[in-house]
Amino acid sequence: MTAEKFIRNKTALITLIAACLVVLLSLSVRQVFGMFFVDFNNDLGISNTEFGLAIGIQMLGWGFSGPIFGAIADRYGGHKAISLAFIFYILGIYFLFAGPNTGIYFQLSLGVLIGIGCGGTAISIPMSVVGKHFPLSNRTIAMSIVTAVGSFGYFISPLFTNYSLQNNGWIQTLIYFMIFLMVGLVISFFVRSPKSSQSIEQSDNQDTISALKEAFQNKSYVLLTAGFFVCGFHITLVGTHVPKYVLDRGLEDWTAAMILSLIGFFNIFGSLLSGYLSTKISKKIILSSIYFLRGVSICLFIFTPPSTISSIIFGASFGFLWLSTVPATSGIVAHIFGTKYLGLLYGLVFLSHQIGSFFGAYLGGLFYDLYGSYDYAWYLAIALSIFAGLIHLPIKEQPVERLQKA
C-alpha cells in the first residue's frame, strides 16, 4: 500500500491529522476524572455514589448526543458538529471549577455538559468523518490511527494530571484542561467531511428514516450494538473506580496513575493491531477474542494478591484491549451499510456503549457504598465479557442488499 493510495487527497490528510488531535485532546481530559475524586470528596463533599452517578450521566449524555452530532456531521459537515460539541465541553469544565458545583450543579457540569461535549469530540464523530474519506480496503487502518493517537492522550494525561493535582491543585488543573479544549475547538474546524466530488461511494437516494429502519432490521447490527454495551461497562468501570480500588487494596496512590498511563500506552498498539487485522481476518472474531481476553485480564487483576507487578500486568493487558474494539466495530458498520450515514449509525451503536458506561460508573459506586467493596462490579464485568464474546460470533459481515446491487 503506497502513501498515494492511502491518502487520496489533501482534504483527507488534513482531516485525518485534525481528527487525531481532536480525539487526543478530548480523551486526555475525559480519561482522568477518576483521579479528581479525592479532591471532589474533600472540598465539595461528593460521595462515591454521587460521583459514580455524575460519570454515569456523563456517559449517557455522551451516548444520546452522539447520534445527534452524527446526524449534524452527516448533513452539515464534521467540523460544525465537533466545534459545537467543544463549546459544551468547555462550559462543563468551566462550571466545574467556577461554580456552582455541588449537588445538582455537580451533576449538570461533570455529567450533562461534559457528556454532551464528549458526544461530538471523543472518538465516534471524528472517526466517522475520517472513515468517509477512505475506501473499505484501508478504512479500519485510518480509523485505528485516530484511536491510537487518542490513546497517546490516555498515556500522558494521567501523568500530567497526577503531577498537576499535587503541585497546582484541582482547580488550576481544570483550568489547564479548559485551555486544552479551546485549542481543540480551533483544530475542529479542519475536520472536514468529503465533498460530493470527493466521495468514495456512489450517491443514493436513501433518507435518514430508511437508513435507521434498514439498520435495526439487520440482526448483525443489533448484535453489534448489544456487544458494545459491554465495552462501555468495562472501560468506565476501570477508568472511574480503579483509582480508589487500588488504594483500598493497600497500594500507593501513584499506582492508579501508572495503570491508567499503561492502559493508554498499550492501547496505542492494540488499536493499530486491531485496525490492521481487521483488513486481514474477520472483524467479529477479533471482537469476540477481545471481550474474552478482557475477562481473563480482570480475573488475574482481582484474584491475585495486590502488587505493583499485578497492576502493571493489568494496565498493559487491559490497555492492549481498551479501544481495540472501536476500529473493528465501526468497520463492520461501514462495511454493512456504507458511509453515507456512518456518523448516525455508529453514533447509535456508541449510544449502547455509553449506556453500558453509565452502569459501569454508577453500579461501581453504588456497590461500593452498599457492600464496602467493588467485588460485585468486577464479577458482573467478567460475566459480561463472556456474554459479549459469544454474541459477536453470529454476526454476518456482508453489505446489505442495497449496496450489493449498486
Q: Could you say which DSSP state residue 110 is in? A: I
Is 5 part of a structural domain of the chain?
no
Q: Which residues contact 53 (CB under 8 A, 6 or more apart)?
A: 107, 111, 361, 362, 365
Is 4 part of a structural domain of the chain?
no
Residue % of the chain over a pLDDT of 70: 95
Query: Can you give the residue range of the structural domain that contains 22?
Result: 10-195+209-399
Q: Which amino acid is at 223?
A: L
Is 203 part of a structural domain of the chain?
no
Assign residue 138 the CATH number of its domain.
Answer: 1.20.1250.20
Question: Span 58-82, mean pLDDT?
Answer: 89
Is 200 part of a structural domain of the chain?
no
- Is the pLDDT at 337 greater than 60? The verdict is yes
Domain count, the chain: 1
Is 123 part of a structural domain of the chain?
yes
Is 201 part of a structural domain of the chain?
no
Is 99 part of a structural domain of the chain?
yes
Q: In terms of residues, how long is the chain?
A: 406
CB 60 within 8 A of CB 115: yes
The sign of the dihedral angle between the CA atoms of 85, 263, 250, 298 is: positive
Q: Could you say which DSSP state residue 323 is in? A: S
Q: pLDDT, tens digit, for every residue of 103-159?
A: 899 999 999 999 999 999 988 889 888 988 888 777 888 888 888 888 788 788 888
- Identify the residue whose cell numbers are 486544552: 180
The count of other CB atoms within 10 Å of the CB of residue 370 is 11
**Cα separations (Å) of 298 from 295, 326, 364?**
5, 20, 14
- Is the pLDDT at 362 greater than 90? The verdict is no
Q: For residue 1, what pLDDT is reported?
A: 40
Q: Please report, to the nearest 10 degrees, the dihedral formed by the alpha carbons of residues 191, 193, 195, 198 taken in order.
A: 90
* pTM reported for the whole predicted model: 0.79
Question: Span 365-390, mean pLDDT?
Answer: 93
Is 406 part of a structural domain of the chain?
no
Q: Which amino acid is at 22?
A: V
